[in-house]
Amino acid sequence: MKTPKSAVWLTKRVEFLAAAKGRRHHAALFTIQAIARKNAMGGPRFGLTVTTKTGNSVERSRIKRRLREVIRLHARLVAFPGTDYVLIGRRAVLDAPFETLTAELIDGISRLKPRPSPSLKPLPSSL
């Protein structure tokens, strides 16, 4: 089986702050924030964050590793091009089965489908 191409990651604080102004989907295991980039070139990009309230550094790192693996295997297949996604992990990720993580991520990304631009309104059918 061919391994999926690695994900492109958000690295700058400005990119995370921009995603925070976009749409959100709250799930049991994590929150997904998404925003379409102004230059919609390129594939989807991903960022991960886990607050210190979640646990110690070992637990936070394990949460990030699990989320990174789900993104690597599945998210790039369902994510929309030109969109930045930020996953905010919760402690429940530690005990959740991998299949549940996958299903929740796919569902969350599909719910955050980019909306069409308001300037592109459909023509009236009476024409």
Q: What is the DSSP letter of 38?
A: S
Residue 14 is which amino acid? V
Please give the structure tokens belonging to residue 127.
């024409």
Judge whether residue 121 has pLDDT over 70: no
Rounded Cα gap, residues 40 and 68, in angstroms: 23
Q: Is 83 in contact with 10 (CB distance < 8 Å)? A: no
Would you identify the CATH topology of the domain 8-111?
Ribosomal Protein S5; domain 2 (3.30.230)
Mean pLDDT score, 98-127: 75
pTM assigned to the model: 0.83
Judge whether residue 94 has pLDDT over 80: yes
What's the chain's average pLDDT? 87
Residue pLDDT, tens place only, 15-71: 999 999 999 999 999 999 999 988 777 889 999 999 999 999 999 999 999 999 999
Are β-strands 23-26 and 8-9 bridged in parallel, bridged antiparallel, or unpaired?
Answer: unpaired
Residue-level pLDDT at 5:
59
